[in-house]
Amino acid sequence: MSLTPSTMMPLGTTAPSFELLDVISGSFKKFNDLKSQHGTVVMFICNHCPFVKHIQSELFAMAKAYQNKGISFIAINANDVENYPEDSPENMKRLSKELNYELPYLFDETQEVAKAYEAACTPDFFVFDSNLKCVYRGQFDDSRPGNGVPVTGADLKDALEALLHHHPISSRQKPSIGCNIKWKAK
């Protein structure tokens, strides 16, 4: 496990568009069909990362709560599945059923979407406003496996609440820290 921080896409960046396989439905989904008029969270996660597993329960509860408020959540796995078969589309689908994901779980086989978002680790979060401009990128909260800090999602939650209430979102944002995205060999 390689401890990797977010690269922190510049605030104001327009959300890169994409079309990726949704392992849950088995169909390709376009960003424009998944985004919300209120705000969109794009998150890079995977099945095997202990940092993702550490926040999973709270993360998916938060996603469900904010989807009910008009914020869409899109999960993307960009890992090299040849070397990390636990992250394969079949295993993504299995895990999404086990954990009852209520959001699209997309597979970025070419890793081009992860590169476009400047994603570096799992988990890595990006929040876009109604104009598809990046208003938050960074961590879920200060909790990490073994550090004793409760998982609350405070950082992401604060950004989403500000977005929903049309308040400024602080530009002082902490990078997420997790496992590096498993890039394919060139």
Domain housing 129: 3-180
pLDDT above 90: residue 143: yes
- Does residue 186 form part of some domain? no
Position with higher pLDDT, 54 vs 98: 54
**Residue 82: per-residue pLDDT:** 93
Report the amino acid identity of residue 105: Y
- What DSSP state is assigned to residue 56? H
Q: Name the nearest CA neighbour of 153 among 142, 168, 137, 167.
A: 142
Across residues 139-154, what is the average pLDDT?
94
- Does residue 185 form part of some domain? no
Specify the CATH number for the domain of residue 153.
3.40.30.10
Q: How far apart are CA 144 and CA 25, in angstroms?
A: 31
pLDDT above 80: residue 1: no
Position with higher pLDDT, 95 vs 2: 95
Position with higher pLDDT, 96 vs 74: 74
At 75-121, the pLDDT tens digits run: 999 999 999 999 999 999 999 888 888 899 999 999 999 999 999 99
Q: How many independent structural domains does the chain possess?
A: 1
- What DSSP state is assigned to residue 87? G
- Does residue 80 form part of some domain? yes
- Does residue 165 form part of some domain? yes
**Residue 2: per-residue pLDDT:** 63
- In which residue are the tokens 């961590």 written? 139
**Residue 185: per-residue pLDDT:** 85
**Residue 36: per-residue pLDDT:** 95
